[in-house]
C-alpha cells in the first residue's frame, strides 16, 4: 500500500468512526417514553402515529394496569415494551428519556394529575416528570368531554389545568407531526406573561410562541418577531 492509499484509508476509517459516534449521539438524544393508559380513543391511529415517531425516536412503551387489561400489550408487539414498570423504575426511565408521550390518557388519570394525586405508578411518574420540567405531550381523544354539561365542563377543566402545568395537548392525528416537526418550534414558557417585550424574545429565531388571550405584545416585540421569523399564536 503506497502512502496516498494509506492516507485515504485512514481518512475513510476516521470518517466512519465520526459518523458512528454522531449516530449514537442522535439516538441517545432522541428518546421518548410512551405511557399507555386505558383509553381507546382512535387507538389504531395512535399506533400509526407512534410507528411514524419510532422512525426517528427510540421509544420505550410502558403500560398502566388499565392499559394492560383494556388496550393489551399484543397491539404494541413491534415496539420496545418494558414489562417491569414500577415506582422504583420511574427515576431511571425519566433520566433515560427526554420526552413523555401520553397517547391514551384517560379522564380518570387526567383528573388525578390535575389535583396532584399520585396513587399509582403512572400518576407518580407524571408528577415526577412535571417537577423535573420534562416535556410531556398528551392526546385529547380519550380524555376530553364532547358535551357542555356542568360535569363535561369539569372534565375539560382538568385538561386546562394540565395545560397550565406545561403539558402539551394534540389530537391523535397530529401526534407524529407535533413530535417530529413542531415540538422544537413552539415556545410555551412565555404563556403566563402579561406583557411580552422585545427583550423576552431577543435570542429566539423561527419559533411559534403560544400566548394567552390576555397577553399584550409590545410594538417593538412584534417588530423583533417579524425580523426573527417568530409568530405569536393565541392558545385555544
Query: pLDDT for 161-199, tens place per residue?
Result: 999 898 999 999 999 999 988 766 666 667 778 899 988
Beta strands in the chain (DSSP E): 31-36, 58-63, 80-81, 99-102, 135-139, 168-170, 186-187, 195-196, 208-211, 216-217, 231-234
Give the Cα separation of 101 and 47 in Å (integer).
12
C-alpha cell at 155: 372534565
Report pLDDT digits (tens) over 197-212.
Answer: 988 887 677 678 888 8
Structural domains in the chain, CATH included, are 25-182 (3.40.50.1950), 186-234 (no CATH)
* Residue 194 DSSP one-character state: S
Using CA atoms, how far residue 40 sits from 65, 70, 76, 141, in Å, is: 14, 8, 14, 8
Q: Give pTM, 2 decimals.
A: 0.69
DSSP single-letter state for residue 180? I
pLDDT digits (tens, 9 = 90+) for 50-92: 999 999 999 999 999 999 999 999 999 999 999 999 999 999 9
- Give the pLDDT band (50/70/90) at residue 26: very low
Q: Quote the pLDDT of residue 55.
A: 92
Amino acid at each position: 500500500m503506497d502512502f496516498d492509499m494509506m492516507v485515504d484509508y485512514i481518512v475513510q476509517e476516521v470518517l466512519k468512526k465520526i459518523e458512528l459516534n454522531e449516530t449514537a449521539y442522535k439516538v441517545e438524544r432522541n428518546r421518548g417514553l410512551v405511557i399507555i393508559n386505558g383509553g381507546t380513543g382512535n387507538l389504531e391511529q395512535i399506533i400509526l402515529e407512534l410507528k411514524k415517531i419510532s422512525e426517528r425516536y427510540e421509544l420505550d412503551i410502558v403500560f398502566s394496569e388499565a392499559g394492560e387489561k383494556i388496550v393489551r400489550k399484543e397491539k404494541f408487539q413491534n415496539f420496545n415494551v418494558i414489562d417491569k414498570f414500577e415506582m422504583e423504575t420511574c427515576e431511571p426511565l425519566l433520566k433515560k428519556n427526554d420526552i413523555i408521550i401520553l397517547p391514551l390518557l384517560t379522564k380518570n388519570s387526567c383528573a388525578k394529575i390535575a389535583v396532584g394525586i399520585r396513587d399509582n405508578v403512572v400518576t407518580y411518574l407524571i408528577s415526577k416528570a412535571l417537577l423535573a420540567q420534562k416535556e410531556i405531550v398528551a392526546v385529547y381523544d380519550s380524555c376530553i368531554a364532547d358535551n357542555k354539561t356542568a360535569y363535561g365542563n369539569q372534565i375539560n377543566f382538568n385538561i386546562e389545568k394540565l395545560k397550565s402545568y406545561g403539558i402539551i395537548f394534540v389530537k391523535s392525528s397530529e401526534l407524529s407531526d407535533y413530535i417530529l416537526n413542531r415540538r422544537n418550534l413552539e415556545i410555551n414558557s412565555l404563556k403566563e406573561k402579561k406583557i411580552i417585550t422585545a427583550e423576552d424574545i431577543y435570542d429566539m429565531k423561527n419559533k411559534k410562541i403560544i400566548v394567552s388571550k390576555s397577553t399584550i405584545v409590545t410594538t417593538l416585540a412584534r417588530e423583533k418577531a417579524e425580523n426573527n421569523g417568530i409568530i405569536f399564536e393565541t392558545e385555544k
